[in-house]
Chain A
Amino acid sequence: MNAFAGSIDRPNSYIGRSVSRPNAKRLLEGRGRYVTDLVLPRMLHAAFVRSPYAHGKIVSIDIEEAKALSGVRAVFTGEDLASICAPWTGTLEHFTNMKSPPQVPLPLEKVMWSGQPVVLIVADSRAIAEDAAELVIVDIEELPALADPVEAMSAAAISNEFADNICFATTLDSGGVEEAFGVADTTVEQSFIFGRHTAVTLEPRAIVADYDPSENRLTAHHATQTPYQFQDVYSRHYGIPEANVRVIAPDIGGSFGMKLHVYHEEMAVVGASILLGRPIKYVADRMESFVSDIHARDHRVTGRLALDREGRITAMDVDDVTAIGAFSSYPRTSAVEGNQVIRLMGAPYDFSSYRANLSVVFQNKVQTSQYRAVGHPIACAVTECLVDAAARELGLDPFEIRERNLIPDNSYPRTSPTGYQFEKLSHEVCLARLKSIMNYDALRAEQAGLREKGILRGIGIALFVEITNPSPAFYGVGGARISAQDGAILKLTPSGEVHCSISVTEQGQGTETIIGQIVADQLGIDREKVRVMTGDTDTTPHGGATWACRGAGIGGETALQAARKLKANLLAVAGLILQAQQGELDIRADWIVEAVTGRQRLSLAEVARIAFFRSDTLPPGTQAQLSVVHHYAPQGYPFAFTNGAQGCLVEVDAETGFVKILKHWVVEDCGRIINPLLVDEQVRGGVVQGLGAAFFEECLYNEDGQLTNGSLADYLVPMACEMPDIEISHVETPTRDTELGAKGCGEAGTAAASAAAMNAVNDALVGHGAVLTQIPMTPTRILRALGTI
């Protein structure tokens, strides 16, 4: 039940207020402390020798010359680390018949992708380690590389353990699809290619592993979103008691999902620290990031829509083949993306006949796995492009066809044909708002006028549904030791301030800020008196941390409930001091006040002073509880779905194929908004990652499985001069599963930006016989679609 009713006008009403981030000041002064910056006494540096081949058999490895180089302290190969590290396998039990080969830090027999780390050098400096890496001779017998996803469906298995390359396959069928297509007045079908792209966090992956043999204690300073997950992984795979493993995630230079997966390099460096008893630092350089960070997407999708004569969707039929590299990633697997693709298809629309095939296949490339908006951009682009294709076929305006088909706002709760339970969404309001803020009719008029002058403007829109606040239904039910709950410790200081340590983590999105807002708001104290700490498994309770848009919704509710608990304790002590009855007192602006009149009775600092230093003056038997621990696990709906709509305005130069993105709009409903400033910037950042995928970003491979653009000069990321201003509007439909009512917003921008962009480009090209169904929409692809080249 959603009993929260914060008034923005009362003192300390921080929920719903745009406030800046206290922890951003150090970053602005160059005082950030990233793992990349960390230096420890006797610290050594790691570098890796990597496979030059996408697939091959290791014949021999000669490390003698490297070991002899001055400053080299150790050289490790597969056996050295496999002997102390239990292998890991990236499967989830609720994905029936899913399989993946076991993984070890460094390969024992075969290399499976170009760039796979094979030998680890540990030396006094990174430069010496790299010098030594050049002296290692790895003899590999090259095997044919399997690069193409569709070929992988029938090609010989690349893993010795298996008979085929199918990691996971599943079918959804609500029934009635064939019948609906049989009687449809209109059907549309398109085939899509979504290339690989990657996170390109500005700070690459980084770890300093520091093993102390005297206490059998591992401290890993690890640039990750999920310190608790890595505490569990290092403990279980290296056989160290969990309480002896400390993972510290300090300032993180971007993550977007990429830094929550287990990587071979980090596992190898932890193992090397255990073997050497010294701290070892590894920071990926940019070339290494491109060949070893997880990639995202890589889907071949065919989709069909059936519609009746009024333009109402009656059925959808989808086939998705997605290639994930040689192994499914651990511990979240590489099948979640595909699973979400087929379950989010058609999500905004009101139809009941749905069928989907999903094939997740292995290939000789680096792993793909969860990256911002897992699966959403694919499902959204396929759905929204098909809806636009149908609109063109039927002569309907893109807004009109969506108005006819979206799930009405008054028809919740309901379950989608793919099994998702929607508590309450707001498609009608969002679509109408989008039309209004775009000034759509004027844009269409302007477009028509410019078209007469030969200028091709395109307007595209897309509706989306986003998965947030995941319950254990996401990972826990599949056997993964990934928590869906969070925990917080709130401590009153003797000066009457509050210290909060909480298990959700910070990567710059503002986690610590919103937690501070919620705690201060609920306690009735000044925000500057709340200090929030995150990212250290020794000092915070175990929790899920930050991923899948759960920080505000689950972490925020944890903080809210913890703050109410502490407040009750403080009022109880104050009640004893003031001899007041329960309910007579409240806390406002750092003071214990009379609840009805607001009259100040006692400062919180004074309550703290008495409780900490003069407990002798309290009634006998009083034990003031000045710290609280509180855990919260989501209950009710398995996920809190959000929704929204995006619009994109582009200008296409038909002679060069270049596209200028002129403007982008987002209407977004993430429930209760805690900090509008931060929500807006999450949405903008997300949109730009979606536009990057739409126009620029692609990991290009040749047929031998070699990445051919693995540098920041060759791989195009969106830059300031290419990006538009982005206008944002909010609708607030709080979830009633929590007091706070917040849902997630971090992936909403990415979810639909590429879909809106595809529809905008295709709108610009109407009448030119060109329809783009592949992203990124590069100038070459646009000119090919136009038949120019």
Chain B
Amino acid sequence: MKIEGEHIFNGSRPDVWEMIRDPEVLASALPGTQKLNKLSDTDYEGVMNVRIGPVSGSFSGKLVVSDEVPPESCTLTVDGKGAPGFLKGVGHVKFTEQSDKTTHMTYEGEVTIGGTLASVGQRMIDSVAKSMIRQGFESMDKALEARLANKAGQQVEYKPPTEAQFAAGVAKDMAKSWTQIAEVRMIMYVIPVGIIMALIGYVLSKILTR
């Protein structure tokens, strides 16, 4: 499955780059991510617990940064595995400094998903993924804001969203988009919670591939 998109960060390119290369921030953008352990400058290892409703599962994954041209571009490869299935993603990320001191980020790549993630979550992948990307960017925007403020000597605390807040956000976004799908028949409470979990895993790849 192809992924692509863009986002504007309210900060300079070096600041954005610095943030992106900080595993703490990456991890905090996705609740449930226990930690992103730095194995080397380019290799990270992480575990993400996902717990929504009665279903839980954990993904262990590897993140490799390659083709690095700081602060312009890099390639991110994610390989994750867990009870809900597996995912493998390769993404190319580019940062362009804009005249108004903001940074324009574009990303494109390909993600392979397997197991329960693929076989049960397919119908909702697009809408949930979009929601999770949106929320992921929101928290990164806040993280960036906090970093820049701290840099300027102000004390601004960055608080990543909790798992519950995150899941609620996804559910809200999903409900919005579902009403637009003509074929949907029996939604809401019938939806296997695994689907949402699946998508969190999927988005893990996206966020990590940024």
Tell me, yes or no, whether A binds B: no
Q: Which residues of A contact B (CB under 8 A)?
A: none
Q: Which residues of B contact A (CB under 8 A)?
A: none
